[in-house]
Amino acid sequence: MADGSVVTDLAPSVAAQERPATSPRGRGFDPYAVRAQFPILSRQVNGKPLVYLDNAASAQKPRAVIDALVATMEGGYANVHRGLHTLSNEATEAFEKAREIVARFLNAESAEQVVWTKGGTEAINLVANGLGLSIQPGDEILVSEMEHHSNIVPWHFLRERRGAVLKWIPVLDDGSLDMAAYADLLSPKTRMVAVTHMSNVLGTINPVAEITRLAHAAGAPDSRIKVLIDGCQGAVHATPDVQAIGCDFYVLTGHKLFGPTGIGALYGKAEALEALPPYQGGGEMIETVEMDRVTYARPPHRFEAGTPPILEAIGLGVALEWLAQYDRASVQTHEHSLYQHAVDRLQGQNWLRILGQAEGKGAILTFAVEGAHAHDVAQIMDRYGVAVRAGQHCAEPLAKRMGVTSSTRASFALYNTMEDADAFVDALIKARNFFV
């Protein structure tokens, strides 16, 4: 609060009590109608209404996804592909329809460019493993200081095992990427640029099309630099148009997109996928298996060994169809209005440091409270029903860059409301009072 006063009651502010029918700047988007579709959001935690602001870790699931999973298990489940009976044919049709939905969501040229994985982490490992077979000592891989560990550790494997050199794109004080430094880091030795579309800590939305353009224009004349975009946050809060971005690979995960856990997808340009060797061996990913040789299926099935996550893929397809009914720009405006409302109410609090204030950032509010550990802040806020994240958020290099050992993160989604934003600020101020 700008005047530094302390909130002593968790009752919503006057503005929140007015309960607008739509988001103030959401152009008709109705978060209350959306919220009503999420059964879990009606529960209480510690005697208080649940305020779920841990969406960057994992989003809640709408009734449409829950019902689709139950209906499939009750009346339409079987293993997919090669089955000749009715249930298998129905399951295969639903499974492949979900692949087409992901392709449309990403604006991919073809559904054959979408590989099912168990999440964003496996998708990045798939690419790193395939690339690693051709990595030579001294080849360079560029990652940014704001990456999630899932987009760091697989490249460290190549450093340890193949002699690759990791180069780090710096982050500026406001949380934006140092694009001038990035351009300078590109060289004929660069083989891969792997960056996040949107930081899970700072909320920074990176200029991924420009990052891709610069990478493709650099490098050795006979070997174009590949670009992988970690879209696990960006697919939810930014615009994941892979043709407009121009990247070679784009990664997403289902559980942040209101779908099930255990499902993700890797988009790859056709030529990029064709050039990758298989990641795992087994059924489904082969053409022929003989005693002295084996031949592999074409993408995407080359990378989908074994029985796939059938229910999870179908659930993700339903989640994306559900999400598609809402105008993306309106959702982004609504989410940002919640973020900005919380920031405005916290202006002038000299005990609070907000991490990441880059222009155009997404609705993630990560902060450090002076004199308090992030874990303690989060646990106290939980007493008031407010669910936030605490720690290093699987981004240890970024924490060191920002000069913190830990931080607390509130991340907004389309089902959050102004009441949620106010309850968050009220609970945060109450938590801070424990340490003064």
pLDDT above 70: residue 306? yes
Count of alpha carbons within 13 Å of 132, Cβ hemisphere only?
18
User: Exposed/middle/buried for 184, CB within 10 Å: 0-12, 13-18, 19+?
Assistant: exposed
- pLDDT at residue 116, rounded to an integer: 98
Please write the tens of the pLDDT for every residue from 320-355.
999 999 999 999 999 999 999 999 999 999 999 999
Report yes or no: 83 and 92 within 8 Å, Cβ to Cβ. yes
Calpha distance 67→71 (Å, rounded): 6
CB burial of 78-91 (b: ≥16 within 10 Å; e: otherwise) equals: eebbeeeeeebebb
pLDDT above 60: residue 23? no
pLDDT above 70: residue 8? no
Please write the tens of the pLDDT for every residue from 111-170.
999 999 999 999 999 999 999 999 999 999 999 999 999 999 999 999 999 999 999 999
pLDDT above 80: residue 14? no
Mean pLDDT on 303-314: 97
Winning range, highest mean pLDDT, from 5-14, 52-61, 81-90, 280-289: 52-61
Q: How does residue 381 score in pLDDT terms, banded at 50, 70 and 90?
A: very high
Mean pLDDT on 44-66: 98
Q: Furthest-apart CA pair in the chain: how many Å?
A: 77
Q: Which two tokens stand for residue 276?
A: 């990758």
Mean predicted lDDT score pLDDT of the chain? 93
> Could you give the C-alpha distances from 125 to 155, 242, 259, 278, in angstroms and in order?
8, 20, 21, 12
Q: Which two tokens stand for residue 320?
A: 């994306």
pLDDT above 90: residue 178? yes
Q: Which two tokens stand for residue 135?
A: 């990595």
- pLDDT at residue 82, rounded to an integer: 81
pLDDT above 70: residue 26? no
Q: What angle do CA 388, 393, 397 make, to 5 degrees?
A: 150
Please write the tens of the pLDDT for every residue from 252-293.
999 999 999 999 999 999 999 999 999 999 999 999 999 999
* Domains in the chain, CATH or no CATH each: 14-36+327-435 (3.90.1150.10), 66-323 (3.40.640.10)
394: left (phi over 0), alpha (psi -120 to 50) or beta: left
Partners of 264 in the β-ladder: 117, 253
pLDDT above 70: residue 27? no
Please write the tens of the pLDDT for every residue from 80-105.
998 889 999 999 999 999 999 999 99
Please write the tens of the pLDDT for every residue from 202-223.
999 999 999 999 999 997 666 7
Decide the pairing of beta strands 51-52 and 386-387: parallel
- pLDDT at residue 223, rounded to an integer: 77
Q: Which two tokens stand for residue 105?
A: 């969501």
Calpha distance 120→260 (Å, rounded): 13
- Enzyme catalytic residues: 394
Please write the tens of the pLDDT for every residue from 397-411.
999 999 999 999 999
Q: Which two tokens stand for residue 179?
A: 């694009």
